[in-house]
Amino acid sequence: MSCRQQLVILGATGSIGLSTLDVVARNQEQFAVFALAAGNNSELMAQLCIAHQPRFAVMADDSAAAKLSQHLSGSGCKTVIRSGIAAMSELAAHPDVDAVMSAIVGAAGLIPTLSAVEAGKKVLLANKESLVMSGQLFIDKVKQHKATLLPIDSEHNAIFQCLPSALQGSKTNAQLHEHGVSKILLTGSGGPFLTCDIASLKDVTVAQAVAHPNWSMGQKISVDSATMMNKGLEFIEAKWLFNCQANDIEVVIHPQSIIHSMVQYQDGSVLAQMGNPDMRTPIAHALAYPQRIDAGVTPLDFSQLADFTFTKPDFARYPNLQLAIAACNAGQGATTTVNAANEIAVQAFLQGQIGFTDIYRINAQTLDTTVDVNVHTLDEILECDRLARLQATQLIAKVVR
């Protein structure tokens, strides 16, 4: 019997999923793929099944699962094919599974990720939207079920690495300042529109918005990086992961994306985690934690680094960042709402229905017009998410008309 860690990868066909499989393939003596899950890219899933021979593969629906089955017929691949969120949740909680990579994009990742948490798994969290959406509930479940939560988002992984070990892993209720931390410095590149004329933002195309200068990522997070809503979601994510308040976190623009975030201590020390912008570093860190493994990442060569610059974000350029920070201060109803509205608005932008600057208008108006209800239980969270999506969709219909 091997004692390899058995992994479930939710969102296997995406940018994070493929990077995870790359790290796994480099470290096969330590990791085995138990199950892969994805939306509807059956052809790519078939290739992944042939390459990695998982015990299970799950597609979002029956039609994608049927296509996967066709692609695999005659291949000799013994992977059992299933479909739907319930199957993903069941496999994420399977007794043979050690760790679950949560890398589905958007709110669709919430239920299978919570399932892994409730089964006390090691949960590698890339899907920031699930934590933004459910906040306290998510963290309470991590503690209640003694799950291990490790951040994959490069900034949060960097912060995790720079924190004292007593604060790593969401298992403690300790406050940052009790361990000498004075501030979390959350860095962001500023995306592709850092220096363009603000007046020109209303005309940017989808191709321009998804062309991130430093990172290669899925479409939704690429647009979020261009609006800096990504940094706003990360701000909320940091609040939950590191048990801190909004005024403990400062956003710093660092266009080179070499420093992935920093932790400032009361004695004046600042610890930074650095590396080339390649998600295989945080993925390998979390997979092997507390060990270190090869990630296939090109080592940083300081003789090749030209500038290292830092500025404050300009909220006139990035109103979505300001909106998300305000939502973070307002509470769970607001963060669930802004996350849901943003998913709908970004999708409408990607489909050419609204302009780039309309994303902020839809998000802000949805937040303004959604009644502030109590949002604590999973049912309340899902209802808040549903209402915000409905409201954002109606607002978009007005823009389109």
| Residue ranges of the binding site | 13-16, 39, 41, 127-129, 153-155, 189, 212, 218, 225, 230-231, 234
Q: Compute the half-sphere exposure of residue 310: CA atoms within 13 Å on the CB side of its CA.
A: 11
Residue 60 contact, options ligand NAD, Mg ion, none, Cβ 5-8 Å cut-off depending on partner type:
ligand NAD
Tokens at 49, concatenated: 């099944």
**Stretches 99-107, 179-187, 252-260, 372-380: which one binds ligand NAD (CB under 6 A)?**
99-107
Binders of ligand NAD among residues 273 to 292 (CB under 6 A) are 279
Cite the DSSP H helix spans in 307-377: 319-330, 332-350, 358-369
Q: Which amino acid is at 210?
A: V
- How far lies 125's CA from each of 81, 151, 198, in Å? 24, 5, 33
Q: Which residues contact 72 (CB under 8 A, 6 or more apart)?
A: 46, 49, 50, 79, 81
**Stretches 9-17, 256-264, 310-318, 336-344: which one binds ligand NAD (CB under 6 A)?**
9-17
81 part of the interface to ligand NAD, by CB under 6 A: no
* Nearest by Cα to 186 from 282, 262, 239: 262
Q: Of 6, 7, 8, 11, which one interacts with ligand NAD (CB under 6 A)?
A: 11
Whether the upstream peptide bond of residue 313 has omega within 30° of 0, thus cis, is no
224 part of the interface to Mg ion, by CB under 5 A: no
Nearer to Mg ion, 64 or 152 (CB): 152
Min CB(138)–Mg ion separation in Å: 18
215 part of the interface to ligand NAD, by CB under 6 A: yes
Q: What is the DSSP string of 139-206?
A: HHHHHHTT-EEEE-SHHHHHHHHHS-GGGTTS-----GGGGTEEEEEEEE--GGGSSS-GGGGGG--H
Edge-to-edge order in the sheet of strand 31-38 = 80-83, 56-59, 31-38, 5-10, 99-102, 122-125, 148-151
Q: Are 87 and 58 in contact (CB under 8 A)?
A: yes
**Stretches 7-15, 137-145, 173-181, 343-351: which one binds ligand NAD (CB under 6 A)?**
7-15
Geometric angle at alpha carbon 63, from 387 and 206, rounded to 5°:
55
Nearer to ligand NAD, 40 or 353 (CB): 40
Nearer to ligand NAD, 126 or 381 (CB): 126
213 part of the interface to ligand NAD, by CB under 6 A: no
278 part of the interface to Mg ion, by CB under 5 A: no
Min CB(9)–ligand NAD separation in Å: 9
Would you list which residues are annotated within the binding site for 1-deoxy-D-xylulose 5-phosphate? Answer: 128, 154-155, 189, 212, 225, 230-231, 234
Tokens at 291, concatenated: 């060990």
Binding residue count for ligand NAD, defined by CB under 6 A? 27
Would you list which residues are annotated within the binding site for NADPH? Answer: 13-16, 39, 41, 127, 129, 218
Angle at which helices 319-330 and 332-350 cross, to 10°:
150
Q: Of 14, 275, 319, 333, which one interacts with ligand NAD (CB under 6 A)?
A: 14
Min CB(155)–Mg ion separation in Å: 5
Q: What is the DSSP string of 58-103?
A: EESSHHHHHHHHHHHTTS---PEEEESHHHHHHHHT-TT--EEEE-
- The span from the CA of 337 to the CA of 131, in Å, is 13
153 part of the interface to Mg ion, by CB under 5 A: yes
Min CB(302)–ligand NAD separation in Å: 24
Nearer to ligand NAD, 108 or 344 (CB): 108
60 part of the interface to ligand NAD, by CB under 6 A: yes
Interface residues with ligand NAD (CB under 6 A) are 11-17, 37-39, 41, 60, 103-105, 108, 126-129, 153, 215, 217-219, 221, 279
Binding site for Mg ion (CB under 5 A): 153-155
